[in-house]
Amino acid sequence: MKKIATVLGARPQFIKAAVLSRIIAEREEFQEVIIHTGQHFDDNMSEIFFRELGIPPAAYNLDVNRVGHGAMTGKMMECLEPVLESEKPDLVLVYGDTNSTLAGALVARKMGIPVAHVEAGLRSGNMKMPEEINRIVTDRISNILFCPTEQAVKNLEEEGFGAFDIRMVQSGDIMKDSVAFFKDRMGSRRDLNEKYGLEGEKFVLATIHRQENVNDPSQLAAIFRGLDEISRKTGVVMPLHPRTKAAMKEFGIKTGVLLIDPVGYGAMQQLLHFCEMVVTDSGGLQKEAYFHKKPCLVVRPQTEWVELIEHGLAVLTTANKGQLLGAFQEMRNRRLDFNQNLYGRQIGKTIYDEICLFLELNSI
């Protein structure tokens, strides 16, 4: 039986990988070996997703975390090499744009193992984002690129990928499948209110965790001033990322926003289902807002998910209090049409079939 090694380590990767893991298990054509780098390690940032999404337990946990970007990527690579040497997978599967993605792709490719990158071709154009660097390098060294959008394919073409021996597939966005998997489990609004102590008719769901927003005290304070303004009009609930929690403590930032611990995927889907609007700097959450037909304020100077902006379903906003509140009011009044199909259909199945084809064509 052929073997696929999935290298993952961060929350959004567990969610994306769960879709393909389910298909791999159903079809019984491949053995999947899951290698967790340990990048995210708290129970509510990691283990909860394995339990809830039925991901097979990781065969390895490299336990690399709490160090800077260079040390993290380096240590992951050092630990990954002997694992791949002993497992000898036919293909390594990586997701997204984290240090785990980059480390997995680099080690595998140098060992001559083909690499498939899911969520390829995305670009923010902002080289200050560590994620942007991870994306560019991972794309360039992978063998198959699964692009979530037409724009992602265009980005790669503009970078000259057409001339490289790399297969590009516009597969659609795998997160669409994960949202669909949970669509019948929304629970009741009353349960949600009781669970989180929500009051009132409406609430905004907010998440902030990008390094560019969190590491700068004045930027982070400005975001919370803006959210506090919004919370004077409607409830604001924020599952707090550990990085943001640590920064708030360090910088002494206080807020009127309802802060809760990070929640599992099902709970997040419920919050998305019942909220009025999403305010976020998360890549994944921007699209989940769209899948749940909710407007989104993106607290970043640019986004990789440009089609949401082009269709007026999301707006970019700065941390400035007036702008954040202005964008909130504007989106509240905007008439929105969520009925386009921006992110494809049957994405997991497409990716799976393409992987089979790739292995067959290359006699692997």
Residues annotated as part of the active site:
209
Measured torsion, CA atoms of residues 317, 323, 324, 325, in degrees rounded to the nearest 10: -150
Which CB, 259 or 356, lies closer to ligand UDP? 259
Q: How far is the CB of 88 from ligand UDP (least distance, A)?
A: 30
173 exposed, middle or buried (CB, 10 Å; 0-12, 13-18, 19+)?
Answer: buried
198 vs 93, 240, 263, 318, 343, CA distance in Å? 40, 16, 15, 27, 32
Cβ–Cβ < 8 Å for 36, 11: no
Which CB, 143 or 280, lies closer to ligand UDP? 280
Cβ–Cβ < 8 Å for 44, 263: yes
Cβ–Cβ < 8 Å for 116, 20: no
Which CB, 164 or 338, lies closer to ligand UDP? 338
Q: How far is the CB of 315 from ligand UDP (least distance, A)?
A: 17
59 vs 5, 39, 80, 81, CA distance in Å? 10, 15, 12, 15
5 vs 34, 53, 117, 285, 325, CA distance in Å? 6, 18, 12, 27, 45
User: What residues line the site for ligand UDP (CB under 6 A)?
Assistant: 11-12, 15, 207, 239, 262-263, 265, 268, 282-285, 288
| Pairing of β 203-207 and β 235-239 | parallel
Which CB, 88 or 293, lies closer to ligand UDP? 293
Q: How far is the CB of 87 from ligand UDP (least distance, A)?
A: 26
Which CB, 52 or 159, lies closer to ligand UDP? 52
Q: How far is the CB of 150 from ligand UDP (least distance, A)?
A: 20
End-to-end CA distance of the chain: 11
Which residues partner with 30 through β-bridges? 2
Q: How far is the CB of 347 from ligand UDP (least distance, A)?
A: 14
Which CB, 62 or 298, lies closer to ligand UDP? 298
- Nearest by Cα to 6 from 83, 110, 74: 83
Which residues partner with 168 through β-bridges? 145
Cβ–Cβ < 8 Å for 229, 321: yes
Q: How far is the CB of 49 from ligand UDP (least distance, A)?
A: 7
